[in-house]
Structure 1
């Protein structure tokens, strides 16, 4: 199974100098847990709910005074849409992240979340069983 099959294509974006408060408003309005931060028109980081909590604690200022770029996780870790879901899960585990933007070259085309991985779990198990059955056929053939 490939990332393109489970990713969400509606990716929220915020400019680097937008406030964290404005980004949180976007996230609440859209019911999502992250916003990709763009600097000079390019994806440069990601702001998640955890980043917002850390920014509020570390900066000890109102969220309206903190620019999203200062609170965002950087650099932006991405995956290609043609990558396997297993590779995306491994990347998320390796970096300790729950939101993984999907990039096709320089274009941001989607995002995969830990929730997407959980929702795809049954399909991944069916795919793995099929692979095991084919392997058994090849070994006996």
Structure 2
């Protein structure tokens, strides 16, 4: 079990430095994907990245566990066609999973940095309060049955290129499962992805927000509930999903409007 450590994200002055360090690691990682010779072994790179992610986000963070999964998951949640094509494809997908984790770390840090921009003196810190959830939510509701396996959930996340699936029992929505849930609650515990159901690792109850609420309220709810995806409701019926990346997109738009 990983130990809980203090992260380096409490001081805003470090954000630019951390973003640059992760971008440098992404450049160093590229030769592994293109199978070019490098001065560093993959094992050394993994050790370096685990140290950096642990320092920045903490060893109990989603990012740290996602990197461990990318390194040792051996493609257990990959589509069957990828697994059937042999070890080569599994190893390559493991590399791509590492890359996606690093890109996610950069996006997370840049998101935190943009949040700080909205709080600077001279800028309108109320901007997110004037934008509603409806303006930036994804209107597609991607769901999966509670009896589906976590392998099937992983395939659905990859197919639709989303970070979460709402879980239903055939008549109503009963939970939500994210890519983080698959790594933290399933793979990290050694559960068999071919037999373990979504019901085992989904989060419940479903934390929702009305489409007329502000993005500021949505962000506060995400922080309080410790979630990164919020199903959006209209008169208590789920009609879409709002994610942290959607709020990041809103902040980028608002920042561009300030410049203009």
> Same fold by TM (over 0.5)?
yes
Which of 27, 49, 56 aligns to 2:187? It is 56
Task: Please name the residue that 2:159 is paired with.
Answer: 29
The higher relative CO (CA closer than 8 Å, separation ≥ 6) is in 1
CA–CA separation in structure 2 for the residues paired with 1:4 and 1:41: 25
Measured against aligned partners, the alpha-carbon deviations of 1:24-57 in whole angstroms (never above 9, x if no partner) come to 1111011111111012421111110110002122
C-alpha deviation, 1:123, in angstroms: 4.2
* Higher helix content, 1 or 2: 2
The answer as to 2:217 corresponding to 1:87 is yes
Structure 1 segment 1-141 matched on structure 2, within 5 A: 1-54=131-184, 55-58=186-189, 60-124=190-254
Matched length: 127
CA contact 2:153–2:198 (8 Å) conserved in 1: yes
| Aligned CA-pair RMSD | 1.7
TM-score by length of 1: 0.83
CA contact 2:210–2:236 (8 Å) conserved in 1: no
SS in 2 for 1:57: helix
CA–CA separation in structure 2 for the residues paired with 1:49 and 1:69: 14
Structure 1 segments, 4+ long, off by >2 Å, are 122-127
Structure 1 residues 18 and 62: alpha-carbon distance in aligned structure 2, compared to 1, 3 A threshold: same
CA contact 2:207–2:231 (8 Å) conserved in 1: yes
Q: Unmatched 5+ residue regions in structure 1?
A: 130-141
CA–CA separation in structure 2 for the residues paired with 1:106 and 1:40: 18
CA contact 2:176–2:204 (8 Å) conserved in 1: yes
SS in 2 for 1:64: coil
CA–CA separation in structure 1 for the residues paired with 2:178 and 2:250: 22
Structure 1 residues 94 and 33: alpha-carbon distance in aligned structure 2, compared to 1, 3 A threshold: same
